C-alpha cells in the first residue's frame, strides 16, 4: 500500500513518542498503544504485539474512523477506545495509552476518580492557567469486551467539561491532545502528578 505523507509523518511521531515513553518505563513488555488522527479523518495506530520502545514505521497501520483496517494489518485489540475518543472530541488528534505503573497503583488505591488540585503543573494542560483549579481523572473497571468498555467510558465523558485522561483499573492510562507533542506533554504532567499523589498518600489506602 502507498501511504500518504501525512501518514508517514504521524507514524514517525508515534515511533518517537514510543521511544520517549519506553525510556520512562511506561510500556513494559509489549504493552500500550498509540494513535494519531490524520487530516482526512483516518487514523494511524500501532499494530498489535510490538514493543512500543522499538517501533518502526511499518509497525503503524491505517484505519478509518470506524476502526476498519485500510491496509490489511491487524490493529490493537483496544482500537475502539481510540475511535470513540476521536468521535467524542473533534479537537483531539493524538491518543497515547501507556501502562505507566503510577496509573495502575492509583487505580488500586483510589475509588472511581482521582482529583488533582493545587499544583502549578496543572498549567501544563491546555486551557488551564492557574493552580487554583480541580481536574478529575475518571477510573473505570477493566473489561476484555472493548466495545462494552468504550461505551461505558463514552457515556461517562459526555457530560464532563474538561477531561485530559482516564485510567482503566489495573491496566493503564489513556490521555490525548491536539497533536502528538500535546498528548505527550499531558502524559508527562499526568504521570508526574499521579506520583505526587501517591507519594503524598504514602502508597496507602485512603
Stretch that binds a second copy, among 10-18, 65-73, 148-156, 163-171 (CB under 8 A): 163-171
For position 16 contacting a second copy by CB under 8 A, the verdict is no
- Residue 136 CA to residue 1 CA, distance in Å, equals 42
CB of 61 to a second copy, least distance (A): 20
CB of 153 to a second copy, least distance (A): 15
For position 151 contacting a second copy by CB under 8 A, the verdict is no
For position 89 contacting a second copy by CB under 8 A, the verdict is no
For position 206 contacting a second copy by CB under 8 A, the verdict is no
Pull the grid cell for residue 60. 503503524
Residues that bind a second copy (CB under 8 A): 28-31, 51, 99, 101, 104-105, 108-109, 118-121, 124, 129-132, 142, 144, 168, 170-172, 185-186, 188-189, 191-192, 195-196, 198-200, 202-204
Amino acid at each position: 500500500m502507498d501511504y500518504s505523507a501525512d501518514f508517514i509523518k504521524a507514524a514517525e511521531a508515534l515511533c518517537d513518542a514510543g521511544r520517549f515513553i519506553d525510556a520512562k518505563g511506561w510500556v513494559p513488555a509489549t504493552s500500550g498503544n498509540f494513535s494519531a488522527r490524520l487530516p482526512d479523518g483516518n487514523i494511524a495506530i500501532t499494530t498489535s504485539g510490538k514493543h512500543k520502545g522499538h517501533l518502526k514505521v511499518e509497525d503503524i497501520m491505517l484505519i478509518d474512523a470506524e476502526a476498519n483496517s485500510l491496509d490489511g494489518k491487524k490493529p490493537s485489540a483496544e482500537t475502539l477506545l481510540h475511535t470513540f475518543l476521536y468521535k467524542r472530541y473533534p479537537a483531539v488528534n493524538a491518543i497515547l495509552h501507556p501502562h505507566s505503573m503510577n496509573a495502575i497503583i492509583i487505580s488500586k488505591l483510589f475509588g472511581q476518580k482521582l482529583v488533582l488540585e493545587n499544583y502549578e503543573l496543572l498549567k501544563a494542560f491546555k486551557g488551564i492557567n492557574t493552580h487554583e483549579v480541580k481536574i478529575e481523572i475518571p477510573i473505570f473497571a477493566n473489561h476484555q469486551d472493548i466495545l462494552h468498555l468504550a461505551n461505558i467510558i463514552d457515556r461517562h465523558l459526555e457530560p464532563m467539561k474538561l477531561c485530559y485522561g482516564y485510567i482503566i483499573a489495573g491496566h493503564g492510562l489513556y490521555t490525548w491532545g491536539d497533536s502528538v507533542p500535546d498528548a505527550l506533554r499531558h502524559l508527562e504532567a499526568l504521570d508526574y502528578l499521579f506520583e505526587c499523589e501517591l507519594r503524598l498518600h504514602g502508597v496507602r489506602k485512603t
